[in-house]
Structure 1
Amino acid sequence: MSEDLQNQIEHLFRADSTNVGDWYCYPSRYFPFERSDFMDIYDFDETRLGIDIIVGGGGLIANTFNPFLDKLASLKKAGGSLIAWGIGESLNVRVDGGVVLPYASTLPDYLKSFDLVGIRDYGTEYRWVPCASCMLPHFDHDYAITQDVVIYEHKRIPLPIDGLPRRSNGGNDIDETIKFLASAETVVTNSYHGAYWATLLQRKVVCIPNMSKLYRFRHLPVICRASEWRNAMRLTVTYPDALEQCRTANRKFYDDVIDLRVAKVKERASS
């Protein structure tokens, strides 16, 4: 890819270095784009937007972020490209896990203004492209299982389960996070990336839902109330093909992103 193509891209995501999932979800960590040119969605500034924009990953289809993305779609520049990569729905559900929130009808209309759409949620009208963090080299290593069960919880939503090793998604230490998840035969979690990464590590996953995003995996964890996690463990399975399926989807999407951007550059040159 040419230097011009690299330098023209803008990456928009939730650039939160205090949340390891958010911090490691954006595609330019894993694919050869210009990494220094990114914008936190909370710092959305239309005067700084480049002509080519990649949005994602993360749970950006949410009441908090939809106004930003709707505005972004309206600002799409002539000859520019707008790409959603590995974004997904993130709406509240009842804490006890008794309700699955379906999409109201379809995904937001602003996605129709995007040139390429890859959604990490499975079974939507759009192409399935899971979080690009599946490209982390950590998943290529073998890890010894040293614990039966661990708790991996969202830093703002602690799980009411005592007596087990635990870690939260706070901070940005990906090495220790992956080692912790890999140390257990079963991971009990209410974190999206906790469930996702444990699945890619071929660990069993019990999920205590607090957001709709936890119902949207292609490789489904067992979902239950916090009080039922022990019984739920008997229903867990592993997904040996999950890592390669996720990586293949991301590699193919990257190829299509490059093809699109090459076409857009030619279009601008001829106009």
Structure 2
Amino acid sequence: MKNILASLKRKRIKKKTINAILNSEQYNNSVVNLHRIDKNNVGDFFCAPHLYFDVLKDKSLDIFDYKVDNKTTTNNFIEKISNNSLIVGGGGLLNRSGFSKQMKLFEKLTDKNKKIVLWGLGHNRKDSSTYNNYIDYNIELSKFGLVGTRDYNMPGEYVPCVSCLHPIFDTEFTSTQETGIIFHKDTLKKDNLVKRLENYATSSNTTNLNEMISFIGKSETIVTDSYHAMYWSMLLNKKVIAIPNSSKFYDFKYKPVFSSFDTFEDDLKKAKSYSGILEECREINHNFAEKAFNYLNLS
């Protein structure tokens, strides 16, 4: 009963926050970058442009703040959205129920002359029947001022995750282990699976960036069900076996070997590395940044 009441309360907060924004005058005074600010998910935390460009420094907002049971937080969300142009992304914000209300809100705000840039976000459907299949986005991209998605085969300009700009990827590493496994935070809850793979070196996306990149750097092959662990491993020229848990794994330009935690050992020899991905992703993001900042009138 307590959970039901809490859920109903969150629904009321979401509706009230969204309606307050839709009923407010909209301005493009400055800019705010929305993404999922989750310190327990290193990929979500580091996938946002505000971390890599001085003009966006300290201009961030958690996309989940619209449902927080705290008036100060929701009022700040309403004020920031209503008064500023928006950069939305990165992360798997599209075709995911947890973000659909926010993304639909942003789409409606474009009718009020709100300047909105979508930067490095992508689809993230959990329905396995959609994996590796072309799917429509749950928003109309043409309504937004500038669109860059991390999904190579989908509509919009291809813009891989901006986290490639982090200087940590310039570090040189020496491989000291053949295979490393990086678990998504949800997979860590599967005690039997983690126990079964205890003979392998393991990490997870709940660790900090330095520890994760160091773990990737010392591994020749990474096995993972974390999108950013897959992406960052490719940036570091590692062989990658991906264990998909949503549609997001299938639309990166460069393909890993797809497998499962039950069969990956049979697929280890199939994995290959790519060269030049880091440089390519950085160039794409710098070029997109120039267009975005011109559109948003940022110097």
Q: TM-score, normalised by structure 2?
A: 0.79
Q: Distance in 1 between matches of 2:149 and 2:44?
A: 16
Q: Report the counterpart of residue 57 of structure 1 in structure 2.
A: 90
Q: Report the counterpart of residue 138 of structure 2 in structure 1.
A: 108
For each residue in 1:65-108, what CA deviation from the matched residue of structure 2 results, as whole angstroms up to 9, or x when unmatched? 011111122123755410000001111144xxx8725244x223
Q: Distance in 2 between matches of 1:138 and 1:47?
A: 34
How many angstroms does 1:110 deviate by? Answer: 3.6
Q: Report the counterpart of residue 294 of structure 2 in structure 1.
A: 259
Give the alignment partner of residue 213 of structure 2, picking from 178, 185, 193: 178
Matched residue type, 2:131: V
Would the alpha carbon gap of residues 242 and 163 (structure 1) be closer, same or farther in structure 2, given more than 3 Å must change?
Answer: same
Give the alignment partner of residue 169 of structure 2, picking from 117, 130, 139: 139
Higher relative contact order (CA 8 A, sep 6+): 1
How many angstroms does 1:109 deviate by? Answer: 3.0
Q: Which SS does the other structure have where 1:118 is aligned? A: strand
Matched residue type, 1:100: Y
Q: Distance in 1 between matches of 2:260 and 2:180?
A: 16
How many angstroms does 1:242 deviate by? Answer: 0.7
Q: How many correspondences in the alignment?
A: 254
Q: Report the counterpart of residue 213 of structure 1 in structure 2.
A: 248
The answer as to whether partners of 2:49 and 2:56 remain within 8 angstroms in 1 is no
Q: Distance in 2 between matches of 1:176 and 1:245?
A: 24
Q: Give the gaps of 5 or more residues in structure 2.
A: 1-27, 67-76
Would the alpha carbon gap of residues 223 and 93 (structure 1) be closer, same or farther in structure 2, given more than 3 Å must change?
Answer: farther
Higher mean displacement: 130-139 or 150-159: 150-159
Q: Give the gaps of 5 or more residues in structure 1.
A: 1-5, 266-271
**Higher helix proportion:** 2
Q: Distance in 2 between matches of 1:93 and 1:155?
A: 19
Q: Distance in 1 between matches of 2:51 and 2:29?
A: 15
Q: TM-score, normalised by structure 1?
A: 0.87
Matched residue type, 1:167: S
Q: Which SS does the other structure have where 1:251 is aligned? A: helix
Q: Report the counterpart of residue 3 of structure 1 in structure 2.
A: none
Q: Which SS does the other structure have where 1:108 is aligned? A: coil
Percentage of pairs with the same residue: 33
Q: Which SS does the other structure have where 1:166 is aligned? A: strand
Matched residue type, 1:89: H
Higher CA-based Rg: 2
Q: Report the counterpart of residue 201 of structure 2 in structure 1.
A: 165
How many angstroms does 1:145 deviate by? Answer: 0.2
Q: Distance in 1 between matches of 2:175 and 2:29?
A: 43
Q: Distance in 1 between matches of 2:85 and 2:130?
A: 39
Q: Distance in 1 between matches of 2:160 and 2:35?
A: 15
Q: Distance in 2 between matches of 1:10 and 1:213?
A: 25
The CA RMSD measured in Å over matched residues stands at 2.1
Q: Which SS does the other structure have where 1:206 is aligned? A: strand
Q: Distance in 1 between matches of 2:284 and 2:239?
A: 22
Q: Report the counterpart of residue 245 of structure 1 in structure 2.
A: 280
